[in-house]
Each structure stands twice: as C-alpha cells, then as structure tokens.
Amino acid sequence: MNKLSLSAALWLRQTQALTKKILLIMVIRHWLSTLIRCLVIPILVLSLVLGVQNFTPSSKYGIGKPASAPILSEATPDGAKLFIIQPSGAGSDVSAVIEDVELMKCPTDINGRTDCYAAVIFNDSPLGDGGNKQWNYTMRCGSSNLGSGFDVFQSAKAATNPHIPLQLAIDQAITNSSTVPDMYMFTRTTQEQAKSVHRRKFIDMLLGGLNLVCFASMLSLGYHVIGTIAAERKSGMTQLIDVMGGGAFSAQLLSYIIAFDIIYLPLLLPTSSAGITILWQILTGWALTSGCVFGATFAIRYSTILAVLTLIGMAAFAQLLNSQTEPITKSVAVAFSVMFPRCSYVFVLNSIARYEKAGKATNIYAIPPSPGFEVQKATIGALWLCFCFSIVAFPLVTIAIKRFVHGASRGGRQFKTGPKADNT
C-alpha cells in the first residue's frame, strides 16, 4: 500500500474512533440527558405549537334535530334576578313595571359574571303613548353565561342560552298562549367548512410568527453540538487530538457531524408520512449540525449562549424578510439560506404553509401560491439545494479554518525520523 492509502486508512480509523467516542458518551453514559435534549424537549415544543389550534373550544356545525323549546321557569337558575323595565310613555298593557334599574342591582365579579339572569326593556306596545303602536322590546342577557362553543346536535344546550326561554315567555304573555313550539339549531357553515377556516387561521398564525416557535424545536441541537465542542476544547481534548497528526483535527470535526446527525435523526423524522416533510426535517438538521460545528470553531466566551441567540435572531430576520410587502428576490433568499440554514428553515416552512392554506399539494418546483401577497421567489427545491450545499460546505470551511488559523497545525508541522527523533 502506498503512503496515500495508509493516510486515508488512518484518517478513517480516527474518524470512526472519535465518532464512537461521542456516541459512547452521549448515548451510553449520558443517555437520559441526551434523550431529553434530542427527543423530549423538541417533541414537547412541537406538541405545544401544533396544539394551539386545539385550545379554542370545539363546536359542532350543521343542522340539529327538532326539540321543544326550554321554558323560562325551568331554565332560570335559582336566585337569579329578572328585571322588566317600563320606560316613561309605555302603555298599561305592560304587566310588570320597574321604574328604574340601578347598576348595583346587577353587580359583576372580576370575570364579568353576574347573578342577574336577564333584563327586558319594553320600548313600545299597542297601548303606548307614542311609537308605532307595536310590541317592541329589548332583551339584555349576560354574555358571560353563554358558552363559547356550541353543538347543534345537543338540543339540551339550548336551555343554557337565556335568550330562548325568555323570549318564549314574553311572546306567550303577549299572545296569551301556552303553546311550546319545537325548535332546532343550525348553522350556515358546514363542519367541513368550519374545519377548513380553522385550519387556515392556524396557518396564518404560523406565517405571522408562530413558525419561530417551531424553529425552537431545533435549538436543542445547536446548543448540544456547540456545548459539546466547547466542553472538549476547555478540557484540552481538542488540543490533544490536534497534536496527534495524521489529519486528526479533520477527523474530529467530521466525527461531530456524523455523531450528532445519528443522535438527532429520530427528532428529524416527524410522525407525518409526507416524504417532503421528512426530507425537509432531515436536511434542516444536518445543515444546522454542520453550521453549528462551523460556529463552534471560533473560541468565543459564552459561545453556546451566543450561538443560540444567533440562531433565534437569524430565524426572526428570515421571518421579517418573508413578511415584507415587497418580495425578496431568489438570489437574496438563496444567499441567506446558504449562509444561515435557519433562514432556509423559515422560508421552507412558510412555503409549505402557503400551499396548505391554498388547499394544494406542495410542489417543490414552483413558487408557493399566495393570493394578494407576493412572497420570496425561491422554490422549495432551490432551498433544499441550499441545505445540501451547507451540509458539505460548512465542514470544508471549518477544516480550513482549523488547519490554518487554530490549533497546533496552523504554523505547519514536520515529522522527522532518525536516531535523534527516536531518543526524544
């Protein structure tokens, strides 16, 4: 075997040994902290983000079944107050009269709740002094007693709405009737239309800044990578490997990338079966790993904290660029995506969200649809190429910096053989 083959074999053995060392430390010895960092925290963050759309009360849309209207005597809570107001000039046909109602009679608590069931104001009647000589009244009901959700298929919930039994009681008194009609609840919007509107609102939240919270699931990767490299530099392990020779410094950098790509691979595989989403997550994770290894090359105090802040700042900057009224050009989007993979993450997420909002399948070769609003001109496919370029380019640049700027190899070294070297 020639000298080049021996050097390549040595370099591969060094890379394998250093990768095994990182996996042994992270996966075997510190398995619990690694599990929390690479799975529990990211999944928890994404679960909270995706669960935002479930925080709003669920309602059932459609057309319900007929049922008897609730009676006022059965629907009125015990101890609740009912006020009937007769303004000046009202006719004598208004049976219940109260000249004035003070606010203190219906006090509200800090949540806006009151013990008053409702109030009725008679504005006009056939025997009134003015007006149109027609029955005209206004009902005031406490909105805090009304639920924010509804179900058209559960007629029993209609009894909790104070408007229905109160209006029925007034109309029965006016018409001198005791008939209880049937009623049914309905909505003009179908359940499918309501789900579509709800989904579009959630996508608008993503495009409006919630995507930065999604990116927070990737921060544990950057913190873990840079923190590990900084710890090995502080302990002297990096300098020790650097003086070994034989390209050990490049093998060490490559071992970081391989090991953390393996460790965080489960995080990069979401539950969705969509190939586009899976490939996007994998490329994002690998590009971020390469970028974090590059950032950790610079021995700066508090490098881990600064790196995380930089990741957040660039993601926010990408969101700002992507929300401008004037679309950014393809070259600008590609340039930022190559230099900062977190920018590409935001661009791709927004593009996928716009396809989902339009109800179309994601097309990696076309500009995402956005009616009435121009977006960045880079396609998802072009942004993926930026990921691939970052995955390869960052390690090469890191090796060059490590060789010529940092470490014992920056001044160049020569290994001599002979009796003098053997006795040293």
The more confidently predicted of residues 248 and 214 is 214
Ordered DSSP codes for 72-94: HHHHSPTT-EEEEE--TT--TT-
| Distance between CA atoms of residues 180 and 70, nearest Å | 8
- Asked if pLDDT for residue 368 goes beyond 60, the answer is yes
Lowest average pLDDT, out of 312-316, 344-348, 369-373, goes to 369-373
Return the closest-CA partner of residue 260 out of 230, 292, 233: 292
- Asked if pLDDT for residue 8 goes beyond 80, the answer is no
Share of the chain above pLDDT 90, in %: 0
The two three-digit tokens of residue 139, written as one number:
């009902």
What is the per-residue pLDDT across 212-247, written as a single tens digit (0 to 9) for each?
A: 777 777 777 777 777 787 777 777 776 666 666 555
Lowest average pLDDT, out of 143-157, 325-339, 371-385, goes to 143-157
424 occurs within a structural domain: no
393 occurs within a structural domain: yes
pLDDT at 102: 37
Read off the pLDDT band of 108 (50, 70, 90): low
- Asked if pLDDT for residue 413 goes beyond 70, the answer is no
Length of the chain: 424
153 occurs within a structural domain: yes
Is the domain of 169 the same as that of 272? Answer: no
Total of domains in the chain: 2
Q: What residue has token string 């927004």?
A: 350
pLDDT at 187: 81
The two three-digit tokens of residue 333, written as one number:
């989007």
Q: What is the pTM of this model?
A: 0.62
Read off the pLDDT band of 101 (50, 70, 90): very low
Is the domain of 146 the same as that of 24? Answer: no
Lowest average pLDDT, out of 115-124, 138-147, 178-187, 229-238, goes to 138-147
pLDDT at 79: 64
The most confident of the ranges 46-60, 86-100, 101-115, 372-386 is 372-386
The number of helices, as runs of H, and strands, as runs of E, in the chain is 16, 5
What is the per-residue pLDDT across 290-316, written as a single tens digit (0 to 9) for each?
A: 888 887 777 565 667 777 788 888 888
Among 183, 205, 235, the domain-final residue is 183
Alpha-carbon distance values, 254 to 18, 25, 284, 319, 382 (Å): 9, 17, 17, 31, 26
Read off the pLDDT band of 397 (50, 70, 90): confident
97 occurs within a structural domain: yes
Is the domain of 380 the same as that of 333? Answer: yes
Is the domain of 18 the same as that of 121? Answer: no
Cα 405 to chain centroid distance, Å, stands at 40
190 occurs within a structural domain: no
Is the domain of 136 the same as that of 159? Answer: yes
The two three-digit tokens of residue 19, written as one number:
């990768």
- Asked if pLDDT for residue 408 goes beyond 60, the answer is no
pLDDT at 373: 55
The pairing of strands 67-68 and 182-183 is antiparallel
Is the domain of 116 the same as that of 249? Answer: no
Residues 6+ apart with CB under 8 A from 345: 215, 218, 284, 288, 315, 318
Is the domain of 369 the same as that of 256? Answer: yes
Please check whether residue 229 is in contact with residue 294, taking contact to mean a CB–CB distance below 8 angstroms. no
189 occurs within a structural domain: no
Among 183, 203, 228, the domain-final residue is 183
Is the domain of 100 the same as that of 34? Answer: no
Read off the pLDDT band of 328 (50, 70, 90): confident
| Distance between CA atoms of residues 59 and 194, nearest Å | 9
Q: What are residue 175's DSSP bridge partners?
A: none
Is the domain of 117 the same as that of 228? Answer: no
Domain containing 130 equals: 67-183
pLDDT at 268: 45
85 occurs within a structural domain: yes
| Distance between CA atoms of residues 363 and 284, nearest Å | 18
Q: What is the mean pLDDT of the chain?
A: 72
The two three-digit tokens of residue 312, written as one number:
């957040």
Among 163, 183, 203, the domain-final residue is 183
Mean pLDDT in residue range 248-258:
67
What is the per-residue pLDDT across 10-35, written as a single tens digit (0 to 9) for each?
A: 777 877 887 888 888 888 888 888 78
Return the closest-CA partner of residue 86 out of 130, 129, 119, 122: 122
pLDDT at 400: 81
**SS3 of 295-328:** HCCCCCCCHHHHHHHHHHHHHHHHHHHHCCCCCC
Is the domain of 354 the same as that of 259? Answer: yes
For the CA atoms of 28, 219, 290, 333, the dihedral, rounded to the nearest 10 degrees, stands at 160
pLDDT at 103: 40
| Distance between CA atoms of residues 209 and 22, nearest Å | 36
300 occurs within a structural domain: yes
Is the domain of 110 the same as that of 149? Answer: yes
Q: Where are the beta strands (DSSP E) in 80-183?
A: 81-85, 116-124, 136-141, 182-183
Please check whether residue 410 is in contact with residue 403, taking contact to mean a CB–CB distance below 8 angstroms. yes
Is the domain of 124 the same as that of 45? Answer: no
Give the SS3 label for residue 216. helix
